[in-house]
């Protein structure tokens, strides 16, 4: 039987032939921690008495706060610098840019590679036919110490992009069309392979844009078969990467056709990356700011695209335009080509290379009431600030900056009057994630339930990124569900031993471990949902938090009902009802009994 791309990569990096559903111990070629998670990775290693297995394959990337302008970030960055010097670990400091992009630019990753990072968009590596995965702090620490990490081989979905998009459609419009059709959980727990009439000729920048938003559809990774141009780019500095492709008889979980014939510019409405409509349906909506950048659209081609729309014109008086290149080399190339001058002449603020808008306190965040057009990958409530965020391509974003309202690049109206001034953003905080180790835990649990009848609850709803400066587990519980409407008072109502039951795709979004640890801090005994965000599920398992897979929202359960559950069999019972969940796997039970992935 043939293999898909991800199955081939995992097979080549483990001691078995990878098949969907099996668990493999995967050798990781490049193991990365970022600035906000790096300090916690080091703490996990130190607390467990572990050392780095191979410093040559290990590095820090400081991309979420490239200015080091927040005291919490600055402290964490310096802590990581000192650890890197002491142990000979690689470091891409605040001058360099987004770690995932740097790994490709520097030739660390290429076709067939494996890469992990404390970045939920590490699957950007699929753009070059590599397997990248975002993971939590404990996962990364374990990989630093062992050189490998357990991974459940995902099923693969074949996606076929049918047709030729319209002349104004960009790669961002294509991936937004994919999100509209597939939804927030359409790729949940699966890898995807991208094919189609236009795919083979797609340049790296377009592949990066599409691969990076796989996370917003619940996917593990979206992989492209490398073409000659990709191979040449990855091997341009003496690399020895080899081509990789799925076998002709590879088995797929499903095949999905996305019709992009004549596709027009698209935009995702605030709150949901999958709530996508044509830009033409939003024309005239006043805006306050525009952000062009992120790991999805911060490459040189994206900046050129924006500059071509802005050339010789001025941003509307009512709009602030913020531009952040993905890496230093992109910044330098844009400067040399005159792209930076064109952007600045139009009125743009250009920031240090890095992630920007996704991290609290960085360029791209907005304030209450502020309406932003962003080229980022996420627009969850509160993710990029306290205002509203629409997602769009760099061309659409630049056009909107000129008009002061949402519009298409081929129909830019005269600027509108300035909108009202937004309030200032709150000062961000910060987080750590230490859990006490326990052993001989009970396999039969009892507790009262909370029914949170919501689907696609993302990690910013669970534990908002403005709290990324708290370092004590005991302080995390107060922030649980703090950004989930109607559940902000959950910490005051929760009791030791409670069980939380939610809708599907629970924990989608960022890779932060704190979204699990906040429940541990409250004494929550287990989480139950029909499905989880892939990274979140790993984080919970690795922290020793029981997570069970079952759909109980339509059962006879009510808030406060007491439920008994057997982790070994998955059997759940309560007065007047019962249900069957997936039993713990051997790996999950072992980690649970040890009190966490790093516990001895």
Q: What pLDDT is recorded for position 361?
A: 67
Mean predicted confidence (pLDDT) in 473-496: 95
Lowest mean pLDDT among 4-8, 63-67, 131-135, 544-548: 63-67
Helix or strand (DSSP H, E) at 92: strand 90-92
CA distance 392 to 396: 6
Average pLDDT, the chain: 93
Tallying the residues shown for the chain, one arrives at 600
Give the Cα separation of 68 and 45 in Å (integer).
24
Beta strands in 361-404 (DSSP E): 371-374, 388-391
Handedness of CA 138, 356, 481, 373 (dihedral sign): negative
Across-strand partners of 59?
32, 90
Measured N-to-C along each axis, helices 35-48 and 137-146 cross at an angle, to the nearest 10 degrees, of 60
Q: What tens digit of pLDDT does each residue of 174-214 get?
A: 999 999 999 999 999 999 999 999 999 999 999 999 999 99
Pairing relationship of beta strands 148-152 and 23-27 according to DSSP bridges: antiparallel
Alpha helices in 70-147 (DSSP H): 71-87, 99-105, 137-146
Domains identified in the chain and CATH numbers: 5-259 (3.30.499.10), 279-403 (3.30.499.10), 430-594 (3.20.19.10)
pLDDT at 230 over 80: yes
Contact 390, 265 (CB under 8 A): no
Res 416: pLDDT: 61
Both tokens of residue 557? Answer: 């359960």
CA atoms within 13 A of residue 192's CA, in its CB half-sphere: 35
Average pLDDT of the segment spanning 259-274 = 97
pLDDT above 80 for 467: yes
* Residues forming beta bridges with residue 450, ordered by sequence position: 500
Cross-strand partners of 429: 467
- Tokens describing residue 153: 């081989």
Of the pLDDT bands very low, low, confident and very high (cuts 50, 70, 90), residue 417 is low
CA–CA distance, 370 with 172 (Å, rounded to integer) = 23
Dihedral over Cα of 107, 113, 117, 123: its sign? positive
443 DSSP assignment? S
pLDDT in tens, 310-349: 999 999 999 999 999 999 999 999 999 999 999 999 999 9
Q: Is the pLDDT of residue 359 over 80?
A: no
């Amino acid at each position: 039987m043939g293999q898909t791309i991800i199955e081939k990569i995992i097979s080549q990096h483990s001691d078995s032939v990878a098949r969907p559903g099996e668990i493999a111990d995967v050798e990781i070629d490049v193991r990365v921690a970022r600035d906000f998670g790096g300090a916690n990775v080091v703490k996990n290693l130190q607390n467990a008495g572990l050392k780095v297995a191979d410093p040559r394959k290990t590095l820090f990337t400081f991309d979420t706060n490239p200015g080091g302008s927040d005291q919490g970030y600055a402290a964490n960055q310096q802590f990581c610098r000192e650890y890197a010097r002491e142990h000979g670990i690689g470091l891409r400091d605040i001058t360099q840019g987004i770690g995932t992009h740097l790994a490709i630019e520097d030739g660390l990753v290429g076709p067939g590679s494996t890469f992990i990072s404390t970045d939920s968009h590490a699957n950007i590596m699929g753009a070059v036919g590599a397997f990248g995965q975002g993971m939590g702090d404990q996962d990364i620490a374990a990989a630093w110490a062992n050189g490998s990490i357990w991974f459940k081989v995902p099923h693969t979905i074949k996606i076929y992009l049918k047709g030729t998009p319209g002349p104004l459609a960009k790669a961002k419009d294509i991936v937004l069309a994919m999100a509209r059709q597939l939804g927030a959980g359409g790729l949940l727990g699966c890898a995807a392979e991208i094919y189609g009439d236009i795919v083979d000729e797609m340049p790296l920048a377009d592949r990066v844009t599409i691969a990076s938003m796989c996370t917003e559809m619940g996917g593990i990774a979206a992989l492209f078969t490398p073409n000659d141009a990709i191979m040449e780019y990855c091997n341009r500095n003496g690399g020895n990467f080899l081509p990789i492709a799925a076998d002709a008889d590879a088995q797929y979980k499903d095949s999905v056709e996305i019709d992009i014939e004549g596709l027009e510019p698209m935009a995702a409405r605030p709150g949901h990356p999958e709530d996508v409509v044509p830009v033409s349906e939003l024309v005239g909506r006043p805006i306050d700011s525009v952000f062009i950048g992120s790991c999805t659209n911060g490459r040189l081609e994206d900046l050129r695209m924006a500059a071509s729309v802005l050339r010789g014109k001025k941003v509307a008086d009512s709009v602030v335009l913020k531009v952040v290149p993905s890496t230093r080399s992109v910044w330098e190339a844009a400067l040399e080509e005159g792209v930076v001058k064109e952007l600045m002449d139009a009125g743009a603020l250009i920031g240090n290379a890095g992630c920007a808008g996704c991290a609290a306190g960085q360029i791209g965040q907005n304030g209450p009431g502020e309406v932003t057009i962003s080229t980022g990958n996420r627009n969850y409530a509160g993710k990029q600030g306290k205002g509203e965020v629409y997602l769009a391509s760099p061309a659409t974003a630049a056009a909107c900056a000129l008009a002061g309202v949402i519009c298409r690049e081929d129909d830019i109206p005269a600027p509108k009057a300035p909108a009202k001034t937004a309030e200032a953003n709150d000062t961000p905080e910060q987080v750590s994630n230490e859990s006490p180790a326990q052993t001989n835990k009970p396999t039969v649990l009892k507790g009262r339930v909370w029914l949170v009848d919501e689907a696609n609850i993302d990690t910013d709803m669970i534990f908002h990124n403005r709290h990324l400066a708290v370092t004590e587990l005991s302080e995390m519980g107060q922030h649980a569900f703090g950004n989930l409407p109607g559940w902000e008072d959950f910490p005051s109502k929760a009791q030791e031993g409670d069980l939380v039951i939610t809708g599907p795709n629970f924990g989608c979004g960022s890779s932060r471990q704190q979204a699990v640890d906040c429940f541990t801090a409250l004494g929550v005994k287990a989480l139950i949902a029909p499905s989880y965000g892939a990274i979140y599920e790993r984080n919970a398992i690795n922290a020793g938090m029981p997570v069970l897979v079952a759909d109980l929202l339509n059962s006879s359960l009510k808030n406060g009902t007491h439920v008994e559950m057997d982790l070994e069999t998955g059997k759940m019972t309560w007065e007047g009802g019962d249900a069957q969940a997936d039993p713990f796997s051997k790996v999950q039970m072992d980690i649970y009994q040890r009190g966490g992935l790093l516990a001895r």
